[in-house]
Structures are given as structure tokens and as C-alpha cells.
Chains A and B, each alone.
Chain A
Amino acid sequence: MQGGGGGGSESGSMSTVSRDENMVVSSEDSSCPDESGLELGLGLSLGGGGGGGGGGRQGGGFKMHHVSKGGPYARILTAKDFPSSSLSSSSSSSSSSPSLSKANVTAGTKRTAESVAVAANGSSQVVGWPPIRAYRMNSMVNQAKVLTMENRKKETSMVENSSIGGYRNDGNTKLKKSTFVKVNMDGTPIGRKVDLNAHESYEKLAKTLEDMFLETAPSVNPSGSTALQLDMLNRMTRHSKLLDGSSDFVLTYEDKEGDWMLVGDVPWEMFLTSVKRLRIMRKSEATGLAPR
């Protein structure tokens, strides 16, 4: 499985290898309260294959000196060690910095824009923010659902008002905004996850899934953002093959009772409350799947 790294170098640079191995096999565990921080002495020699420090300044000067616990020779390369000429060798880093930073801003903004899904109530929601573990989010949504179902079941609330009222004391039932469900596709070993609440309709969901699983050749030419935007537009307006029956696959879901249903036959909101997971099924296997 591994070829490089410490492979055959036991005899020669044993200490380097074992130090390297020691670095990766050590109790650096920030979740463990008793561990103290610092690394052991490191004797890295960089660019082992790439001509060490002897070669030109080309991206070089990477010699790393012995770093020890607060020792006098601890030295980490700073921008000063890295002559600007070597940076300019890589296409764009330094020579075009003004335009790069512009591009950065654009790209950064664009990327952030892409990573923002507009939630149902119009407020923009950034993926993975606030940083709350998926486990906790799932617990909270299940909790709210239980409370809602309990309310439906009994006319008089069986639990004290304060507990339900507490969760919704601001008047709006703000459930969590992300519901990730698993998606598997026949013939693809690796499943994916998709956030149902980031989509407002079956069409949008199907398109996301098509992008994820049914890869069409990306229609970009390398001239940057315009082409990318055009491509995004194409993808957004393209009719969903999964839903209109023109693909070899159909989209199905498993509901809370464990039955597999065809996606699309119940109102979207109802679908959201009953779906457990999705499966992109071969059409041939989907016979007998009853829409509700």
C-alpha cells in the first residue's frame, strides 16, 4: 500500500525514519486533557528527492534546521528565507499579486456565494456554520419533531407547557435548517449525503443529485468565470432527467415505515417529514414500486 516514506531506508537514515514515524505515531491528542504540547526534536531534511538544498534557489532554500523544544536553533522558514524570485517562478503568486488579490476577492466571494444556500425563509445560510456537529443538529430536529408529534397525538398537552414553550418561546418553530440524508446509487459503491432543507423542491433536489452522481462532461472551457457561470446556468435550467423518466435511473426513497417509494408523488413538505434516505435505482429494478 505504501511505497515511499520510510520504505527501504531502515539501514541508512534510521533516525530520520524513526523520527518521522515518531511524529506521526505519537500521543498528540488535543482531546486528551493530560497531554502537553510540544513536538520532539525534528531532523527533517527537505527536498530529499528534489536535489536537496544544493540545487538552485528555484523554489528551494527549504533547508529546515533542527527544531527542538524552545531550543536556540529552532527556526522555521519565514518569508525572508524564501527569495521572491523563487515565488515568481510559480505562475501567479507574486508577479501578478494585485490582480490575484482581485481574483481572490472575486473567487472568495463567489465561492462563499456558492457555499451559501438560501434557506426557505430567505435568510442566507452558510454551509457548516455555525459549527455545530451534525450529531447535535440531528438530535435537535428529532427532538422538535417528537414534540410536534406529541402535540398532535394529544389534545391536552401531557407534558408541562414550559418544556415545549421553551423550545419555541419566540413564536416561530425554528427547526434546524439542515437535514442530511444518505443517497446511494445502484452500481456506485460510495454513497453521498445531501441536505434536503437546502432544496425547496423536487426539481432542485434531483438536479443536485444528478450533478453528484450522473456526471455529464463538464462544459467549461478554461477561460474562467464567464464559462463557469454559463455552465451553472445550463445546469440550473436543464430539466431533470431523474424525475421525467428519461434516464435509466429513477429516484426513490425509504420512508419512516421502511417502504421504498418513488420520489415526487407527495407534496414536498410531506416528503421532508417522511423520508429517511434516498436511492437512485435502476429503472429495471424499480418495477412494482408504488407511488403513494
Chain B
Amino acid sequence: MQKEMAYSFPDEVLKHVFSFIQSDKDRNAVSLVCKSWYEIERWCRRKVFIGNCYAVSPRMVIRRFPEVRSIELKGKPHFADFNLVPDGWGGYVLQWIAEMAGAYPWLGEIRLKRMVVTDESLELIAKSFKNFKVLVLFSCEGFSTDGLAAIAASCKNLRELDLRESEVDDLSGHWLAQFPETCTSLVSLNISCLGSDEVSFSALERLVDRCPNLRSLQLNRAVTLDKIANILRRAPQLVDFGTGNYAAELQPDVFSNLAGAFSSCKELKSLSGFWDVVPAYLPALYSICPRLTSLNLSYATIQSPDLIKLVSHCPRLQRLLVLDYVEDSGLEELASSCKDLQELRVFPSDPFGVEPNVSLTEQGLVAVSLGCPKLQSVLYFCRRMSNAALVTIAQNCPNLTRFRLCIIEPKTPDYLTLDPLDAGFGAIVEHCKDLRRLSLSGLLTDHVFEYIGTYGKKLEMLSVAFAGDSDLGLHHVLSGCESLRKLEIRDCPFGDKALLANAAKLETMRSLWMSSCAVSFGACKLLGQKMPKLNVEVIDETEPPDSRPESYPVDKLYIYRSVAGPRFDMPPFVWSMDEAVKILH
């Protein structure tokens, strides 16, 4: 059968056909058809996505896919965003860069998320890849403006430099000036994370001037409002713009200059930045509001009336990020003005306050669910919720794919009935059949997990905190959620039973994180022994887990599947349960 296939479709034809197959899943399927398809496919795969940098080694990737042009890697577990993963845990990219430098001279794109990137890595990228085009460092750390200078200076055809939410050590503001005069290829530049002294504004202006294809520009906070007009006039073709500081003394000429500059940007669809907003300057945006599809005001400390005014000018809005200053009234206005809304994120302005500082409740979200039929993605911080509201939301928005609710005080019950919120979240998973991502909060028993296991068939990522009563909860999830890839749990009474009973499930997932739960050291060791394709890592910053009895619960546990075996760059506070690795370092 194989031979017939080979004769009827010469390699070149297959290669050509495969070149239309972009999705990794499809390519994986293709590679499993037969040996010759596997061979042909692997030689023509150009793009590789690795969701966990420790799941496979660079050498393995290189061996299988010799002609890669674009790579995407993710490092630390998601909970690292909330400081739950100690510094030094890992996620170093240097090894990858070093190996790829030799193997992929034509590598053009590197996208990293939650990884540790050093100046050395950046310098290596700069000198190893002659055709380097795209560097995205999302939520990365470990590098300084020196590394950026190397990239700017050497990458002659750089198209994208995106440092969103990364932590950069500022050493000198002049790295931007390192872009040679001949560099005119920039399409996207995101330097919003840089601190005040790190950007030479004149160099930025000159750069913007000579890059006619610049579509996306996110400035950093240090860029003052009066400078925005200068930039915009140099780049009227921008589609996506992030302001810096949006505050200044109200001056009519500055205002009209700014308004004029914005109105000259006929393609502008997406705005962000808006640190330190002076509301009087918001009307400068009115001319472009009708075209806006995405608005990130999540750093803007402006009050509801100003937000309402702005939002009512944006009928085409599809994506809104905002602080809870928007209040229920603002969300009601949003619901009536923005019928195309697909994504809403509401962040807390005072997350640690005990009393609410704004009038934002579950009502706001209910209003949006009623008014915006296309709503798909929700991230909502609030202080109270009810089952009734959740049921209403679920019924109004059956197309939800992402639902993340954070009721700020852990274990908060339904404020009307004082019941757990099991039924409410149950309604969400039951009605929203395409739900892929869910974050729970509030008072929750094992019942909610029963619902999730029963209905959450497409659920890929689940985040749980301060919930559940027993192992049964975890068992429902692990045994019921067929599509589950990432599970992260903190402060729940889940122990050994569910984990061991569903050990095999873990091999079908990318990773499992459990912290402040009740999984014993003994169970971790057992898992490590029995499941060679899993890396079972115990994190404990106070003392080695084997200095305590085996029944003692571990502090933090991170389990992920890997074909590369245990990693060798673990810091002293991470212990591998793999038998091949000594437990005591």
C-alpha cells in the first residue's frame, strides 16, 4: 500500500500539497500516515510550536525538523504570572538558541513566552540568524537594553520587535539608535514595558519616519502626550497604537494638534497604553472611535462617566479592557452601544481593599451578556456574585469560549442565598458547549467539579483556587474533561487518590500545577516512578521534601509530560521525582 502511494505521488507533489497545510495538528496527522509521508513532512515543516520548553529537547526538534524557520516556545507555568513560581525555577532559552544557531541558519522568527532570556541569548540571536525577522518576548525577563541594542544593530531586516509585559533592565536609553539608517523594515514595535529612561525619543521618531510599513506601535510610559502627535503624523498608516502617558495640562493647541493627528490615521483600529489619563484629552480620540475595534483602557484610572462617553462613540468595539471604575453603569452603556463586543476584561482598581471602592457588581456582567450576543471571552474581577446571575449569563451567552471570573475574596458564597456557586458555574459549562478556558472562584464544593467533568468536554484549561471538598472533585475533572490540557490548582484539599487514579490522564495533558494542596511526597515519588513520560517536580523553598515523612504534603507540584526526560537545570529548590535523577542534590 505504501509503495503504491509512493509511486502515485512523487515527493515533490506531496511536498507541494503539504505546503498548504499550516496547522500543526494537521501536519502531525500527516506525519503519522506512513513512513514516507513522515519523512517528507518533516523536511518541509517550517514552523514549530512548543507549549512547554521542557517537553522536548532542542536536539530532538532539530533532528526531526531540519528546516525550521519559525519557533515558538513557552517556559514557566502560568501561575508564575502571580509570583507562585519562585525565581530561578527555569525556562532558560539560551540552550535552545545555541543549538538552533548551528542548525537553523535561516531561522527568522522566535516567539517566547514566560522564558528567561539573557543578553547573551539576544546577542547570539543577533549574530547567528542572518534573516532574522520577528522577535516576540511576551512576559519574559533576564535581559537588558544591551541585548536589545545587539538585536537592533544586527538584524537588518527586522520586522517585529515585541517586548510586551517583559521585564527589562534599563542600562542605557540609546539602544534604539542602534537601528541602522538602512533599517526600514519594521512592521511592529512594542516597547510598552520599558521604564522611563530607556528610550531615546528622537531615535524613535527617526525610526518611525523611515519605516513606511509600520502598522503596530506601542510606546512606553515615558513618552508624554505632547509627543504623540509627532509620532502619529509620521505614521498615519498605523493600525494599532499604544500611547504612553496620556496626561498633560489642558492646553487648546496641544489638544487640537493631538485630535488632528489622530484623525489623520485612517487605518487605526486598536488603541492601548493610556497610563495616567487626563479625561479632558479623551475627546481627541473621537474622530477615530467609530473605527475602533479594540480598546485597552486597563491602566487608565478614569471614572465611569468619562468611560461611558468614550465607549458610546465606539459602536464597532469588539474588545474592551478596562478597570472596574467603569462600574455597572458603564457596562450597561457598553451593552447598549457595542453590539459587536466579543471580549471583555474588567480589572480591579483596588484589589486588596476589603470594602468595594466602586459600584461594580455582577449586574454589570449580566448587562453585557444580555446586550452583546457575540460575547466570547470574559475576564471579570468583582466582589460579589450569585448563581442566578451566572445562570443568566450562561443562557445569554452560549458562545462563550473563555470565562474567567475572579471574586476577590476567596470562598465567597452566592450573596443572595449564601449557597456555593456550584450551580452557577455548572450552568456556564452546561450551556457554553464550546468553552475552552475556565477560571473558578467563590465558594465551591465538589459538585461544581462534577458539572465540569460532565459538561466540560471541550475544556482545555482550568484554573482552580480555594475550592472543593475532597479528592472526588479532582477526580471528576481528570476523568471527565476529555480535552483538558492545562490544569492549575492552588489551595484545594485535593490529595493523592484522585491523582494516582488518573495518572494516565496526565500524559494526555501538557501540565498540571498543584500548590498548597494535599498531595503527599510519597505519591509524587510513586508517580515519578511509574510514569516515565511524566516529569514530576516538587518545589519547596524551605527544605528538601525527603527531610519529612512521606505522607507529608508537598508545597508545590508541577507535572508535565515530556519526551526529553528530566531536566538538568533545576535550581536547588526543585526536586525531580524521576528515579534516574538523584533526589538530593
**A binding-site residues for B, Cβ under 8 Å:** 1-6, 14-15, 17-30, 33, 35-42, 44, 46-50, 59, 62, 64, 67, 70, 74, 76-79, 81-82, 87, 90-94, 96-97, 100-101, 103-105, 107-108, 111-112, 115, 119, 123, 125-136, 139-140, 142-143, 146-147, 158-160, 162-163, 166-167, 169-170, 172, 174, 176-178, 180, 182, 190-193, 195, 211-212, 218, 220, 222, 224, 228
| Nearest CB of chain A from residue B229's CB, rounded to whole Å | 19
Complex Cα spacing A131 to B489, Å: 12
| Nearest CB of chain B from residue A121's CB, rounded to whole Å | 9
CB closest chain-A residue, reference B99? A1
Of residues 47 to 87 in B, which have CB atoms within 8 Å of A's CB atoms? 48-52, 55-61, 64, 72, 79, 81-84, 86-87
In the complex, what residues of A have CB within 8 A of residue B87's CB?
Answer: 182, 190-193
Complex Cα spacing A128 to B49, Å: 28
Question: Are A192 and B510 in contact, with the CB atoms below 8 A?
Answer: no
**B binding-site residues for A, Cβ under 8 Å:** 23-25, 28-29, 31-32, 35, 38, 48-52, 55-61, 64, 72, 79, 81-84, 86-88, 95, 139, 165, 167, 193, 221, 247, 249-250, 275-280, 298-299, 301-303, 306, 325, 347-355, 357, 377, 381, 401, 406, 408, 410, 436-437, 439, 458, 460-461, 463, 465, 470, 475, 478-479, 482-483, 485-486, 490-491, 493, 495-498, 500-505, 507-508, 510, 516-518, 520, 522-523, 526, 529-533, 541-544, 547-553, 555, 561-565, 568, 571, 580
In the complex, what residues of A have CB within 8 A of residue B553's CB?
Answer: 103-104, 107-108, 111
State which of A3, A4, A130, A212 has its C-beta within 8 Å of the C-beta of B381.
A130
Additional A-B contact list (11), CB under 8 Å, known A28-B460, A78-B475: A2-B59, A2-B563, A27-B49, A46-B533, A76-B482, A87-B496, A91-B551, A101-B495, A107-B553, A112-B491, A178-B83
In the complex, what residues of B have CB within 8 A of residue A212's CB?
Answer: 541
Which residue among B461, B503, B508, B533 has the maximum number of chain A CB atoms within 10 Å of its CB? B533
Q: Which secondary structure dominates chain A's binding surface?
A: loop
In the complex, what residues of A have CB within 8 A of residue B544's CB?
Answer: 218
| Nearest CB of chain A from residue B223's CB, rounded to whole Å | 14
State which of B25, B88, B277, B552 has its C-beta within 8 Å of the C-beta of A163.
B277
A123 in contact with B61 given A20-B563, A130-B381, A224-B549 (CB within 8 Å): no
Complex Cα spacing A105 to B64, Å: 48
Complex Cα spacing A167 to B301, Å: 6
Question: Are B460 and A94 in contact, with the CB atoms below 8 A?
Answer: no
Question: Are B529 and A40 in contact, with the CB atoms below 8 A?
Answer: no
State which of B408, B504, B510 has its C-beta within 8 Å of the C-beta of A76.
B504
A2 in contact with B57 given A163-B278, A193-B87 (CB within 8 Å): yes
Question: Are A119 and B563 in contact, with the CB atoms below 8 A?
Answer: no
Question: Are B507 and A44 in contact, with the CB atoms below 8 A?
Answer: yes
In the complex, what residues of A have CB within 8 A of residue B408's CB?
Answer: 130
CB closest chain-B residue, reference A146? B276
Question: Are A104 and B495 in contact, with the CB atoms below 8 A?
Answer: yes
Q: Which secondary structure dominates chain B's binding surface?
A: loop
| Nearest CB of chain A from residue B320's CB, rounded to whole Å | 16
Complex Cα spacing A212 to B571, Å: 12
State which of B64, B139, B503, B565 has its C-beta within 8 Å of the C-beta of A21.
B64
Question: Are B505 and A46 in contact, with the CB atoms below 8 A?
Answer: no
Complex Cα spacing A182 to B529, Å: 36
Question: Are B501 and A92 in contact, with the CB atoms below 8 A?
Answer: no
Question: Are B57 and A48 in contact, with the CB atoms below 8 A?
Answer: no
In the complex, what residues of A have CB within 8 A of residue B48's CB?
Answer: 25
CB closest chain-A residue, reference B480? A76
A79 in contact with B497 given A162-B303, A222-B547 (CB within 8 Å): yes
| Nearest CB of chain B from residue A20's CB, rounded to whole Å | 5
Question: Are B504 and A143 in contact, with the CB atoms below 8 A?
Answer: no
Question: Are A163 and B247 in contact, with the CB atoms below 8 A?
Answer: yes
State which of A18, A20, A46, A100 has its C-beta within 8 Å of the C-beta of B495.
A100
In the complex, what residues of A have CB within 8 A of residue B491's CB?
Answer: 108, 111-112, 115, 126
A39 in contact with B32 given A1-B59, A79-B497, A176-B352 (CB within 8 Å): no
A sample of 10 cross-chain residue pairs with beta-carbon separation below 8 angstroms, ordered by A number, consists of: A18-B64, A24-B56, A37-B458, A39-B508, A79-B501, A87-B496, A100-B496, A130-B348, A163-B301, A170-B353
Question: Are A78 and B303 in contact, with the CB atoms below 8 A?
Answer: no
Please name the 3 residue pairs, one residue from A and one from B, whose CB atoms are nearest each other, closest first: A5-B563, A128-B82, A104-B518
State which of A15, A33, A59, A96 has its C-beta within 8 Å of the C-beta of B530.
A59
